[in-house]
Amino acid sequence: MLDVLDVAREKGIEEREKIGIEKGQPKATRTLLLNLLFEKFSGVPRRVSHRIKEIEDQNVLDNLFHQAVRCENMEAFEKVLSWLE
């Protein structure tokens, strides 16, 4: 049986494939990450949105996407985001 995290991860992968996003496209990954955060936490603080939009490294964005799936609340995600500084 799939748990919620597996379902969310699969949904993200399906969305990336559906719109033809290949690895190496930070802008698309940022958009998916922000959409995931918005849907999961019913909004994204401006400071989080600005910080994500500054990130150019595809690997960092991919890791943040996976962390967003795992985080239980926005505060936990912001803590992960703060590790980048």
In a structure prediction context, what are the per-residue pLDDT tens digits for the chain, which is 85 residues long? 456 566 666 777 676 666 555 555 999 999 999 999 999 999 999 999 999 999 999 999 999 999 999 999 999 999 999 998 7
Full DSSP string of the chain: ---HHHHHHHHHHHHHHHTTPPTT-HHHHHHHHHHHHHHHHT---HHHHHHHHH---HHHHHHHHHHHHH-SSHHHHHHHHHTT-
Domain range for 27 is: 4-82
Within 8 A by CB and 6+ apart from 46, the residues are none
Total domains in the fold of the chain: 1
Give the pLDDT of residue 85. Answer: 76
pLDDT in tens, 33-57: 999 999 999 999 999 999 999 999 9
Query: What pTM was computed for the model?
Result: 0.72
Tokens 């990954």: give the residue: 29
- Mean pLDDT of the chain, nearest integer: 86
| Residue listed under structure tokens 């936490």 | 41
